[in-house]
Structure 1
């Protein structure tokens, strides 16, 4: 049962949520990649019917924004955010999730995974597969919100992993067919999931070096809009990198074809595609895609 918090003139629980909007420690990419099949559903406001100009969202009225959320769920969210803001606790969590307690087998693993699913996983992830993610999107839709579907896997190591991730992205797009029209605003794609991370790092280095030395020739590079500027952190590439090998060039073409297939699928289902910016070390390569 949802509690209409806005009715109280006193400071309520949701008034304190904005205080927690501080940068959180990022979990290493290896952890995310080690647990494939997770979907995140992010919330944004529904677009109203085209009857006239829509009023702007009043973000200063948390009571109205969270009116449809039960108080118990708000308390659960605040507790998770507080815990995620404690650096030593985050560091401990990283060590536990990469230890044999989780990577091995036995009752200890079940206890740890169960605790994570009921806390942080429940807060940040919409489901373990497309079925659970679709149900989360439906719940958001009933509350007047739209969702962004994000297949939460990144930093693929080789082409077979990239092909497997491609199929998951295509299934994610196809799953929107079972959802009410307009309830999904974007499908999110991570380039590091469909192109080997080592290749992205190589491409990013070469693009940065060409920015520092315009005469530096990249035979595999096609014409594109400028993707680097004077403020680009070119210090990531302090020395001239080796050129791509023929195999690396072939793998780059395969990765671009994967992205093309995802875009074609989104066009087929009339779903906007959003590319995750990810992180600066490989950003030039992502922008090149």
Structure 2
């Protein structure tokens, strides 16, 4: 079933609270396209961890937590944090957003029924081990692969090989793959650089193949008399994430590496000690909603709904 973009009245069908916890500010990689620009900080991560855990233990509604960075696996108490979240009733899912640079045996001690492994593929640092690790971990953890495509032909052969290997995993638990263009034109993230023809063709062919997979992340879109579920890649390609002026029932927070907390899409910060983890709807101030984790929060064209 198709839906005309102008007919859309609602995007998303609801989501639990989302918390992005920046466990550390540093990373083993220095990717040319990284928006975060990781760095070493003087934060006492172990002391801060105790304060944050006490705070989120008091959250009174279900939430999903994304462990991010920097590179989150570099936190000195990473496995203890995962164990703590596993035992926390209100925490329904633990997403580990990692570059998968740690050796495979690192993951032997990580065990949780709540884990989703979000293993980002960075061609600039592909030493041949990424697929090898994914191939050993996808049966242990639900997993997805943000497949970053740099604007450089030198990486194209290894990108093709890695994608081919990922697509050839024949299992109901094979990882979800999302093709990502990390380079933006100047200005707020609303458009992408034009890549060389060979890379554009690779992206087009890869997206077409991936969109046919059954395990794609999906989003619900509504008109007055229709409801359809589409792949997030299709939603993005159709520019349906251009939602400026829409009312968004967002309920998401970022715990920064230094202990400050901000509400997603708002320019507010409070220290973890005084943060409330309470949110209210907002009218989207941005041209495009670039964070696909937030697409499932209900969004309404009519701000009065």
What's the TM-score once normalised by structure 2's chain length? 0.28
Higher strand share: 2
Higher helix share: 1
Larger Rg over CA atoms: 1
What's the TM-score once normalised by structure 1's chain length? 0.29
